[in-house]
Chain A
Amino acid sequence: MAEKFDLIVVGAGMAGNAAAYTAAKAGLKVLQIERGEYPGSKNVQGAILYADAIEKIIPDFRESAPLERHLIEQRVWVLDDDSYVGSNYRSEEFNREPYNRYTIIRAQFDRWFSEQVTKAGGLVICETTVQQLLMDGQRVVGVRTDRKNGDVFADCVILADGVNSLLAKRAGFHEELKPKDIALAVKEIHFLPQETIEARFNIGEDEGVVIEMAGKVTAGMMGTAFLYTNKESITLGIGCMLSDFKNQKITPYQLLEQMKEHPAIKPLLAGSEMKEYAAHLIPEGGYNAMPPVYGDGWMIAGDAGMFVNGIHREGSNLAMTTGQIAAQTLIDLKTAGKECSAKNLKNYRERLDQSFVMKDLKKYRHMPEVFHKNSQFFTTYPELLNRAAHTMVKVDGIDKKSKEREIRGSFVQARSLFGLLGDAFKLWRAFQAR
C-alpha cells in the first residue's frame, strides 16, 4: 500500500535537511528521500558554513554539529602568474563566541543534520532515487522512486535535489540550464597535521583562515578560487563558468594543477597528502536566470532553484534559508487548513522576496552579465595590479612620482582611459543596483 505523507522532501543536502527538519519539528508527517548512500555522501562544498542560517533552524547546533574551525581571518588575493596582490582582514571580534563562520566537511555535517531530522520525527530514506514526480493533471501528488513499490504520495513535495534539478526539468517546471548560468568547480582536500596547519597560517587551535582568489589562476575565464583550513586538512578549489570552459577548452583539473604550482600557494600545501577530489556544478545565473519556484503541490529550495549568491560565495546558507521558508509556508497552510495549491504556495515566493535571499540576489542581478561581457576583470586587471604593486615596492633608485606615472600609463595603455572609467562605472552600477 502506498503511503501518504504531509510532505516529501527530495534530497538531503542543506536545503532538503532544513526543510525536512523544520516540517518534522512542527509535527508534520515527513518523508525525505536521498539517492546517496548516506546524506552528504554526494555533496560537494568548500565548505564554509554561515552560522546565521543554521542557527535560525537549530539554535544550539554548535553543541553537537561537526565543525572544523571558526574563521578569524579572510585573505583576498589577486593573482598574476607568479605574484599576488592581496589584503588580509583578521579580527579578534571573530574569535569571540558565538562564532560567525566555520569551515565544515559536508559529508560529516550533512550526516549530523540528517540525524537531527530523524530525531525530529522525519522518515529519512537513503540510497533511493526519485525518478519522477507523480502528477494529477497540473498538480504534483507524490514521487516515483527507483525501488519496487516505489510510489509515495504527499500533499506537497519540496524539490531540494540540488543544481540541475532533473525532476523539475522533466516535469517541465523549467528549461535546460544554460552553460553561462552554471559554474563548474573542482576541489581537493589535502591532509596536513594540525600543528603544521596552525603554524603555516599563524592560527591557534580551532581558528581558521580563508583565502579567496581571483586573477590569472582562472586563465582568463570568469571564476574564482579558494583555499580553506580545516582541522587536519586544507580544502582548495577553483571554479569557472561552464560556458568559458567550453570555449577555452581547458579542463578544470588542469586549472587546479596549475593553481597548486603557484609560488604563493605551493608552500601552503607542501608535504600534504591528497585525500579527496571532487567536481560539482554551482548555479550562478542569479536572479535573472531563476526558474519558477512553486506551483500546484510543489516548491523548490536551494541550488535546484538557483539560490546562490556567486559574488559572495554564499550557497549553503541560501539553501538552508529557502528550505526553512518553504517548510514554514507549508506548516502555516496546514495550520490554517488550506490546501497546497499554486495560489496558496505563492506565499513562499512572497516570503522569499521579503528575506535577504531575494534582496541580495536582486541586488546583484547584473553582475553575471557584466562579468560575462568584460573578461578584462579576469585577465588584464590582475596583471596590471600585480605590476603596479611590483613597481611601487621595488627599490631601484627611481623616484615615486615617476613610478606612479608609469603605473598610470600602463593602465591607460592596457585599457584606455575610457575603458577604465567605463569598467569602474559598470562595476559600481552592478554593485549598487537595487
Chain B
Amino acid sequence: MHSVVCIKQVPDSAQIRVHPVTNTIMRQGVPAIINPYDLFALEEALRLKDRFGGTVTVITMGPPMAEVALRKCLSFGADDAILVSDRAFAGADTLATSYALAAAIGKIRENMPVDLIFTGKQTIDGDTAQVGPGIARRLDYQLLTYVSAIREIDHEKREILVERRAEGGVQVLKTKLPCLITMLEGTNEMRYGDMDDMFRAARHPLKQWDRLAAGIEDPNVVGLKGSPTVVGKVFAPKPRSQRAEIIETVDNDPKNLVVTLLAKVFTQHPKLEREIERLAK
C-alpha cells in the first residue's frame, strides 16, 4: 500500500484579522498551521499503514516555509515528504494547483505505484474543495469525496469500501483502486508520535522539487499564468443589523412559548397569519 497525502500550510484562520482601513487580509504575524482537514487525511493514511503496512508519502505545493508543516507530518509517522516549490507556482488557483500536484504525484509514481491519494475535504483558507477532485481527474483515479471511514480494502480485487457522509445519511460505496479520497473532519484523532519519530522528522532529508523536477515542462500551466480565476474584489461583509432577541415566557411551558413565538412572528408578518388561516380551511 502506498498512500500519498496532500497537505497545505495555511494561516490559522482563527487568528486572521482584516485590516480595519484597507479591508485586506493581514497575514503578517499570523501563525501557519497544517490545514486541519488534512490531518484527518494523514491520520487515515497512517491507520491504513498500521493495518496493511506500506508507505505514506506527504506532499505539499508551497513556499519553502512549508517545510515546517512537512516535518510535522513526518513526526506523526509519515515515511517521506516532498516539498514542491518554485517561484513559478506563486499565485496558483485550484486549477493550476491540482495540475502541479498531479504532475508531482505522477513523478512519485515513477518510483513506486500510488494506490491511494488523500486530501482534506477542503482548505480553511480557500474553502473550494476543488484540488482533490482536480488531481483525481488528471491522474484518472477514482474519486471519493467526504469520506468518513474506510471500512475495507480488498487487495486481491483492488477494491476499497468506504462510508461517505451525504445529505440525508451515510452512503456505503465501493470502488476500484487507485483512488483519491477527500477526508471528512472529526473522523479520527491525530496520533502523538513517539520520540524516535521526532528524531526522524527533525533529521529527515526533505525532498524539494522545483517545476522541472515535478515534471512540468510548460511554465504557462502553473502559478498565476495557469490560473484562470480572477479575484474581482475582496470585502468584509457588513454585519447584519438585526439582533437576536431573547423572548421570555411566563413559566417555561412549551405551549406558552409557542403561542408567544407565533404572536411575535405574526406581528412582524401580518399577512402570514391570514395565509395560514386560509390554508387551514
Interface residues of A (CB under 8 A from B): 3, 38, 41, 105, 107-108, 123-125, 127-128, 145, 147-152, 191, 193, 232, 273, 275
Contacts and interface: CB of A to CB of B under 8 A. Distances in A.
A125 B198 contact: yes
B196 interface: yes
Contacts of B20: 193, 273
Contacts of A152: 195
Contacts of B193: 147
Contacts of A124: 202
A415 to B, nearest CB: 47
B21 interface: yes
Interface in B201-218: 202-203
Contact of B21 (A107, A123, A193): A193
Contacts of B196: 149
Contacts of A149: 194-196
B198 A147 contact: yes
Given A105-B29, A107-B31, A191-B17, A148 B194 contact: yes
B202 A125 contact: yes
Interface in B168-223: 192-196, 198-199, 202-203
A113 to B, nearest CB: 15
10 contacts: A38-B31, A41-B31, A105-B29, A107-B29, A125-B198, A128-B198, A148-B195, A149-B196, A152-B195, A275-B17
B111 interface: no
B28 A123 contact: no
Nearest to A105: B29
Size class of B's contact patch? Answer: 10 to 19
Contacts of B75: 127
Q: Identify which of B19, B198, B199, B202 gathers the most chain A CB atoms within 10 Å of its CB.
A: B198
A273 B195 CA distance: 41
A147 B192 contact: yes
Nearest to B192: A147
A193 B28 CA distance: 13
Contacts of B202: 123-125
What are the 7 closest A-B residue pairs judged by CB atoms, nearest first?
A148-B194, A147-B195, A150-B195, A149-B195, A125-B198, A149-B194, A147-B194
A123 B31 contact: no
A127 B33 CA distance: 14
A337 to B, nearest CB: 28
B194 A123 contact: no
Nearest to B202: A123
A148 B192 CA distance: 9
Contacts of A191: 17
A3 B20 CA distance: 51
Given A108-B29, A147-B192, A149-B196, 7 more contacts: A3-B199, A38-B68, A123-B202, A124-B202, A128-B198, A147-B198, A150-B195
A123 B203 contact: yes
B17 A145 contact: no
A3 B198 CA distance: 12
Nearest to B32: A38
A191 B16 CA distance: 12
Contacts of A108: 29
Q: Identify which of A125, A151, A273 gathers the most chain B CB atoms within 10 Å of its CB.
A: A125
B17 A273 contact: yes
Interface string B233-258: 00000000000000000000000000
Contacts of B68: 38
Nearest to A108: B29
A124 B193 CA distance: 15
A367 to B, nearest CB: 36
Contact of A145 (B19, B28, B31, B195): B195
A235 to B, nearest CB: 13
Given A123-B203, A125-B202, A232 B195 contact: no
Nearest to A148: B194
Interface in B98-112: none
A150 B199 contact: no
A152 B75 CA distance: 17
A152 B194 CA distance: 12
Nearest to A66: B29
A3 to B, nearest CB: 7
Contacts of B19: 193
B20 to A, nearest CB: 7
Nearest to B193: A147
Given A147-B193, A275-B17, A125 B31 contact: no
Nearest to A124: B202
Q: Identify which of B28, B193, B195 gathers the most chain A CB atoms within 10 Å of its CB.
A: B195
Contacts of A105: 29
Interface in B28-76: 28-29, 31, 68, 75
A232 B28 contact: yes
Nearest to A196: B21
Contacts of A232: 28
A151 B199 CA distance: 12
B199 A123 contact: yes
A127 B68 CA distance: 13
Contacts of B203: 123
A107 B12 CA distance: 14
